[in-house]
Amino acid sequence: MAKLTFLIVLIALRLATSAPAPSNINVTESASAAHSSSSATLPVTTAAPSNSSVTKATSAAPSSAGSAALSVTTAGFASTNPNDILWNLTSPDSAPSPMRGSLGAPLLGPENIPLELENPDMFAPPTTDNGATGNSKWSFSLSPNRLQTGGWARQQNVASLPIATAMAGVNMRLEAGAIRELHWHSTAEWAYVLKGTTQITTVDGEGRNFIGSVKAGDIWYMPPGIPHSLQATGDDPDGSEFLLVFDDGAFSEDSTFLLTDWLDHVPAEVIAKNFQVDPSAFAHIPGKELYIFPSLVPSDDQQVPVSPQGTAPQSYTFPLSTYNATQLSGGSVKVVDSTIFPIATTIAVAEVTVEPGAMRELHWHPTMAMDEWDYFLEGTARVTVFASSSNARTFNYQAGDIGYIPTAMGHYVENTGNTTLRYLEIFSTDKFQDISLNQWLALTPPSLVKAHLNLDDETISKLSKTKPVVIG
């Protein structure tokens, strides 16, 4: 009987010492009680069963008095290995290779070297990339161009960039005097002039009219449904070129409401009755839409007819080019939203410059439906988009490219070149807002930050309680 009892106890002890820890357990083992509360601790990893998170702290690293022991999971620390861009646009054709360190293998099949040179972080992604976020890059160079007598237009919408559900873009060029005909659309229109001067006209629902000239670097805004026209002036002999952004990702430049297209589809007797004229008065209207067409250069002092209802109470244009920028350690920023451009109720902009070696800080935009549509004006950049659940992807951009970041996704914009990076952050909102990672951590209790990131007091003290925005 004694032997049986002994065997049972022995088996029980063996089972107790060999049993695996329960799945997903999170156990933290404190340092020895012999250490005082003010003693320094350094986290070290101990062996643990699969699928468990067991942590242990021991002495040696800085820690504030009375704080809890620092700890790390058995997953270990995040890698500090560099993930630099491996080549750039000026690299030789032999530079691109789908390899990073020991990962990947040389390409054996056909390749498009110009695209590989433009997209190093797509061809050889940083090791921090993981999962999928959706494609966040498009270039107008890949968009079909609609050529007209007097200019052209090319567009980006969800057909070319499916992730861009809240906004679409159009790049338009008008020769001097050329007109984008009188039209309207169900979406709002926001515009940034790239070169030259564009004269705009409009009449609102109250019969109040407006005329204005928009120079390079300036913007205009047209609310949904408001009729307007665009015409290149003679300020620049080449005319004008501009960027248009619409607050609907499904917008199509080929589906706007055009004056000539409408009247071509109204019976002649109805037109005569509407305007109370003889039918012959409208006998020579175009038999199809004009869209973009050549015309005489408008005079600098051109006026709209005097309206008995008066002129529009709010300006449809804003002089962004002369608006003072906020100077920052690594660049500058100009923000224009409805707080200073009241008529722009659905689209806001930040014009950002980033000096070589600097970056637009890690941040996100919190407002519901505040997607970000980026347009790169000068320089080169890389952006990593964090979509939660370990999904992150890095993209490279150059002048003429479009970037898109859905609401709340974390990101940064880094200058990867030797010249100033300048780009537009355009948002589907009335008021610009962002959350700075740096400021968030600085204004959170240090003990919480330490518990998450194992930072020491010196690092905590360097966190910024004001937004750096662009870091030099």
Binding residues for Mn(2+): 183, 185, 189, 228, 363, 365, 372, 411
Which pair of tokens denotes residue 179? Answer: 């007109």
Q: Per DSSP, what are the bridge partners of residue 373?
A: 404, 426
Alpha-carbon span 188 to 295, nearest angstrom: 26
H-helix segments, 124-276: 259-263, 268-275
Most distant CA pair in the chain: distance in Å? 123
Task: Check if the beta carbon of residue 289 is closer than 8 Å to that of residue 254.
Answer: no
Strand pairing category for 53-59 and 26-29? parallel
If you search the block for the tokens 């997607």, which residue do you land on?
371
Torsion of CA 26, 31, 36, 39, to 10 degrees: -90
Residue 66's contacts (CB-CB under 8 Å, 6 or more residues apart) are: 37, 38
Q: Alpha-carbon distance 198 to 98, whole Å? A: 45
CB-based contact 176:236 (threshold 8 Å) = yes
Active site members: 425
Closest of 24, 28, 26, 25 to residue 43, by C-alpha: 28
The secondary structure of residue 241, as a DSSP letter, is E
Enumerate the known binding-site residues: 183, 185, 189, 228, 363, 365, 372, 411
Query: Mind giving me the DSSP string for 326-374?
Result: EEETTEEEEEE-TTTSTT--S-EEEEEEE-TT-EEEEEE--STT--EEE
Q: Is 464 exposed, middle or buried (0-12, 13-18, 19+ CB in 10 A)?
A: middle
Edge to edge, the sheet with strand 26-29 lists: 26-29, 53-59, 41-44
C-alpha 416/C-alpha 358 separation (Å) is 9
The amino acid present at 258, given as its one-letter code, is L
CB atoms near residue 193 (< 10 Å): 22
CA pair distance 259, 57, nearest whole angstrom: 74
